[in-house]
């Protein structure tokens, strides 16, 4: 497997996963706006250090699951139901305009690097997300679970996360009042992303029947 391709797959998947406004990207943007660019970058680096660990754990877990196809089949079907429900929620029910829950008071005496690591460690969503995505990539033959491929994928995931945080840091002040960043429109974006994942999962399940 071409490790460059694996790297960019990891980058794209992590990039997409961090697009919706959340605690980490909003915190990175706020720190940069209030305390300066360098602190925002250090915070982002701290986040990415934890992402490296989380993605590696997810890949190892996915490798274990790949040796137990019966468990994978069950998880794929459960994931399909979850993604469909999430898609329905964001596209149909989550239409009300709400204020973004940005981090207003994020000043700390500690280094922004460690603050980024701490905040990222509280966010465990990347582990099941990356585990599922690596299993899906492996099922299509786009990823193998050898050390080189795992390392390339993990590095790509960290880079994808950093790139998205970087985008938030430099463009948040310009786009925060734009229409497409409203909660309603972000709901549609999230719903579309989970819908695409649900379709891919459904295709994968049907192919294995």
pTM of the predicted model as reported, rounded to 2 decimal places: 0.68
* Residue among 201, 187, 203, 200 at smallest CA distance from 89: 187
Q: Which residues of 96-106 are buried (b: 16+ CB within 10 A; e: fewer)?
A: eeeeeeeeeeb
CA 67/CA 50 separation, integer angstroms: 26
Lowest mean pLDDT among 42-51, 79-88, 160-169: 79-88
Contact residues for 209 (Cβ-Cβ < 8 A; gap 6+): none
pLDDT at position 102 is 42
For the chain, domain boundaries: 3-207
pLDDT by residue (tens digit) across 81-114?
A: 777 777 777 677 655 544 444 444 445 445 888 8
Residue count of the chain, please give it.
Answer: 209
- With a pLDDT cut of 70, the percent of the chain lying above it is 71
């Amino acid at each position: 497997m071409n490790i460059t391709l694996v790297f960019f797959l990891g980058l794209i998947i992590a990039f997409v996963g961090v697009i919706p406004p959340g605690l980490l990207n909003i915190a990175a943007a706020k720190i940069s706006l209030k305390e300066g660019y360098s602190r925002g970058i250090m915070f982002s680096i701290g986040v990415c250090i934890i992402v490296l660990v989380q993605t590696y754990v997810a890949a190892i877990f996915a490798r274990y699951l790949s040796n137990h196809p019966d468990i994978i089949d069950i998880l794929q079907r459960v994931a399909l139901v979850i993604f469909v429900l999430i898609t329905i929620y964001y596209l149909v029910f989550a239409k009300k305009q709400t204020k973004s829950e940005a981090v207003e008071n994020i000043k700390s005496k500690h280094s922004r690097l460690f603050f980024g690591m701490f905040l990222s460690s509280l966010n465990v969503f990347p582990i099941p997300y990356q585990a599922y995505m690596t299993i899906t990539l492996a099922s299509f033959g786009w990823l193998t679970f050898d050390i080189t491929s795992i390392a390339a994928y993990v590095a790509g995931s960290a880079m994808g996360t950093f790139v998205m945080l970087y985008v938030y840091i430099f463009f948040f002040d310009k786009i925060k009042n734009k229409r497409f960043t409203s909660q309603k429109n972000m709901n549609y974006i999230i719903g579309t992303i989970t819908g695409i994942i649900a379709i891919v999962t459904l295709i994968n399940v049907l192919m294995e029947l």
